[in-house]
């Protein structure tokens, strides 16, 4: 196999606080398909102002696209003092479908849990909420907010506002870690602090390599990678053993195919600049003689407990020149690279006589089925690769989050996963993008990304915020919390983690005998999340994923709880939901302590 694991040297890497500062200085947030216009936003000052809702006056930006939702500047409201409310949901009425209009809100399955806002694609007529509610539906403007996302927000009566004004949502570039401390509990942002641990190619490989050293071939999910210049000598030894070997050189935080080279020449391996060199898949699977890769979308609402969803649709991206490798054409980027941002230029460059093709993911599965290839098996193997990638990186992300994030529920993230299949149909992870482009330049892009934008926002569970004068006093006791756990919760977590270790991963339903308020909050959030799943598929945890628990760097109580919950609910979810509803009616979630932010 061209991955080269059997002949790979042993290399160790460590990180430091200085590394963190250096890493966060990289521009690592924008995916390869993002347009140049989308990449122009990025000033940390803008993002900080956007998230802290400062009252400073700023000039609003202008949109250049005709289809953009216009900015409407709303006034700042004066805050007044108020007492804390003990009721969890905002005091609003659930809107129902009126005539041909679709409902604006979706009810929770549980008593005293607030509804979430429903999102739709462009052109859907949605019931208009009361004026008091609509005045709170504001989203932060920035030039990375894609058109399909703006259209989805507009359908649900959101107004795009200047960054200096009150807003409940942000979709844009990855923030600096310290900026997460300024987030308020009513806000939602589309990144986690520390996501660079999976979004940077060097960090991703380091964490997968760590799991590879513990579990061997079970983690041969990514072509073997060298971090240069540290691993330069080991790379040279690898290439010396076979003149037909090549590596693909990439900057660790680049996008859109920038700086990528296929080579075996030592002069291309830096002695100072940081790059990664990945074993080149010499025998890729081809369709119509062209090399291709897959862009899939993974959604993570939380890292503790870790939950991973994969979107039903994706893109298949082709090279524009038939794959016929030789010494003379190894530098032909139109043959060896599948990045759409590169291959879309092939026709203009006279390399191809027609635009480079792109498929929707379901077309690939249909093609395999017609060819007698088991597409279901390939999909399961891809899911395995994706879950293992997140498990490899979850610990450093969790640790980073604990330093910079008060409450995890204000974050969610959509990841772009790039996969290539070799001639044996084995999937290999190429990279993970922390800001996958939702730029939609073709009708195919729109057909995939517009529903994706809608389903991401629905799955995120965005609530109507409390009144402006109660933002800092509202009761968020329905939401799982990361800090200020009760003694009862800490004792239960410690005892079950110890039992998990002592019993070598064997856990039974006794973990549910006494559900704490925190247990209940986590399970209620999860069940409501599943009720908004759209075209996403939950791939972790499921009733069949218990064996993945051993791959985690350390046992985490909430992972154990949710995994066992999935096993227990496999036959009939209504039993567990009924129990949670009974606890909600008893106001069990609010019984441990009062929440204040």
Question: CA end-to-end span of the chain, whole Å?
Answer: 54
pLDDT of residue 196: 96
Question: What is the average pLDDT across 431-452?
Answer: 95
Within 8 A by CB and 6+ apart from 27, the residues are 42, 253
Query: 């490899």: which residue's tokens?
Result: 392
pLDDT tens digits, one per residue of 354-373? 667 799 999 999 999 999 99
Q: How far apart are CA 181 and CA 195, in angstroms?
A: 16
Residue 543 has pLDDT above 90, yes or no: yes
Contact 359, 377 (CB under 8 A): no
Domains and CATH numbers, the chain: 16-22+197-436 (3.30.470.20), 487-590 (no CATH)
pLDDT band at residue 568 under the 50/70/90 scheme: very high
Q: Which two tokens stand for residue 490?
A: 């800490």
The torsion angles phi and psi of 286, rounded to 5 degrees, stand at: -125, 155
pLDDT tens digits, one per residue of 254-290? 665 567 888 898 888 888 889 999 999 989 999 999 9
Length of the chain: 597
pLDDT tens digits, one per residue of 12-52? 444 444 445 455 544 444 554 444 334 333 333 333 444 44
Which of helix, strand or coil describes residue 261?
strand
pLDDT of residue 545: 98
Query: 């298949």: which residue's tokens?
Result: 316
User: For the ranges 120-134, 190-204, 327-341, which has the lowest average pLDDT?
Assistant: 327-341
Q: Output the average pLDDT for the chain.
A: 82
pLDDT of residue 484: 74
pLDDT of residue 2: 52
Between 431 and 326, the more confident residue is: 431
Contact 26, 254 (CB under 8 A): no
Residue 76 has pLDDT above 70, yes or no: no
Q: Which two tokens stand for residue 39?
A: 């990449």
Query: 């004066």: which residue's tokens?
Result: 78
pLDDT of residue 483: 61
Q: How far apart are CA 249 and CA 279, in angstroms?
A: 9
Q: At what angle do helices 517-530 and 557-568 cross, to 10 degrees?
A: 60
pLDDT of residue 389: 99
pLDDT tens digits, one per residue of 301-315? 999 999 999 999 999
Query: How many CB atoms lie under 10 A from the CB of residue 175?
Result: 26
Between 189 and 470, the more confident residue is: 189
In DSSP notation, 155-193 reads: HTT-EEE-TTS--SEE-SSPPPGGGGGG--TT-EES--T
CA atoms within 13 A on the CB side of 298: 28
pLDDT of residue 14: 44
pLDDT band at residue 346 under the 50/70/90 scheme: low
CB neighbour burial string for 450-484, b if at least 16 within 10 angstroms, e if fewer: bbbbbbbbbbbbbbbbbbeebbebbbbbbbbbeee
Within 8 A by CB and 6+ apart from 536, the residues are 299, 309, 310, 311, 312, 455, 459
Which of helix, strand or coil describes residue 79?
coil
Question: What is the average pLDDT across 475-500?
Answer: 82
Q: How far apart are CA 348 and CA 123, in angstroms?
A: 34
Q: What percent of the chain is predicted at pLDDT more than 70?
A: 76
Secondary structure element (H or E) that encloses residue 47, with its range:
helix 44-52
User: For the ranges 137-141, 340-344, 367-371, which has the lowest average pLDDT?
Assistant: 340-344
Query: How many CB atoms lie under 10 A from the CB of residue 342?
Result: 21
pLDDT of residue 257: 55
Query: How many CB atoms lie under 10 A from the CB of residue 372?
Result: 6
CA atoms within 13 A on the CB side of 79: 12
pLDDT band at residue 324 under the 50/70/90 scheme: confident
């Amino acid at each position: 196999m061209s991955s080269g694991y059997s002949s790979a040297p042993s290399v160790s890497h460590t990180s430091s606080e200085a590394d963190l500062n250096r890493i966060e200085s990289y521009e690592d947030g924008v995916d390869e398909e993002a347009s140049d216009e989308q990449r122009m936003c990025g000033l940390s000052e803008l993002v900080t102002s956007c998230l802290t809702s400062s009252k400073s006056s700023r000039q609003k930006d202008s949109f250049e696209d005709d289809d953009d939702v216009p900015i409407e500047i709303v006034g700042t409201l004066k805050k007044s003092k108020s007492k804390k409310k003990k009721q969890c949901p905002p005091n609003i009425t659930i809107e129902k479908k009126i005539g041909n209009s679709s409902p604006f809100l979706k009810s929770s399955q549980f008593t005293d849990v607030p509804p979430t806002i429903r999102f739709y694609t462009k052109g859907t007529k949605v019931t208009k909420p009361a004026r008091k509610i609509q005045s709170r539906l504001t989203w932060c403007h920035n030039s990375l907010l894609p058109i399909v996302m703006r259209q989805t927000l507009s359908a649900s009566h959101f107004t795009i506002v200047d960054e200096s004004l009150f807003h409940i949502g942000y979709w844009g570039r990855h923030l600096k870690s310290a900026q997460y401390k300024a987030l308020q509990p009513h806000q939602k942002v589309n990144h986690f602090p520390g996501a660079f641990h999976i979004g940077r190619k060097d960090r991703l490989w380091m964490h997968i390599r760590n799991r590879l050293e513990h579990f061997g071939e079970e983690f041969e999910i990514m072509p073997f990678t060298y971090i240069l210049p540290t691993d330069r000598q080991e790379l040279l030894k690898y290439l010396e053993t076979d003149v037909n070997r090549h590596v693909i050189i990439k900057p660790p935080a680049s996008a859109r195919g920038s700086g990528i080279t296929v080579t075996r020449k030592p002069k291309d391996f830096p002695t100072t600049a940081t790059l990664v060199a990945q074993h080149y898949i010499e025998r890729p699977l081809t369709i119509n003689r062209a090399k291709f890769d897959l862009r899939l979308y993974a959604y993570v609402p939380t890292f503790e407990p870790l939950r991973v969803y994969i979107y039903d649709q994706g893109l298949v991206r082709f090279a524009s020149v038939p794959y016929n490798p030789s010494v003379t054409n190894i530098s032909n980027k139109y043959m060896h690279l599948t990045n759409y941002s590169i291959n879309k230029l092939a026709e203009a460059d006279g390399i191809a006589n027609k635009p480079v093709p792109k498929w929707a993911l379901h077309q690939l599965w249909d093609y395999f089925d017609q060819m007698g290839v088991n597409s279901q098996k390939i999909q399961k193997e891809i899911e395995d690769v994706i879950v293992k990638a997140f498990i490899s990186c979850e610990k450093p992300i969790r640790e980073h989050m604990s330093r910079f994030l008060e409450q995890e529920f204000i974050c969610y993230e959509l990841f772009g996963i790039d996969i290539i299949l070799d001639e044996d149909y084995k999937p290999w992870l190429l990279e993970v993008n922390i800001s996958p482009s939702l730029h939609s330049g073709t009708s195919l892009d729109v057909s995939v990304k517009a529903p994706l934008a809608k389903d991401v926002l629905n799955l995120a569970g965005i609530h109507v915020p409390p009144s402006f004068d109660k933002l800092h006093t509202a009761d968020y006791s329905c939401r799982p919390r990361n800090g200020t756990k009760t003694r009862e919760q800490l004792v239960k977590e410690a005892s079950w983690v110890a039992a998990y270790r002592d019993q070598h991963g064997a856990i039974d339903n006794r973990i549910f005998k006494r559900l704490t308020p925190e247990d209940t909050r986590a399970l209620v959030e999860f069940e409501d999340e599943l009720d908004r799943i759209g075209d996403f598929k939950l791939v972790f945890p499921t009733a069949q994923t218990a064996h993945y628990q051993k791959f985690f760097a350390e046992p985490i109580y909430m992972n154990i709880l949710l995994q066992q919950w999935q096993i227990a609910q496999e036959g009939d979810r209504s039993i567990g939901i009924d129990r949670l509803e009974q606890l909600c009616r008893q106001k069990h979630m609010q019984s441990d302590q009062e929440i204040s932010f």
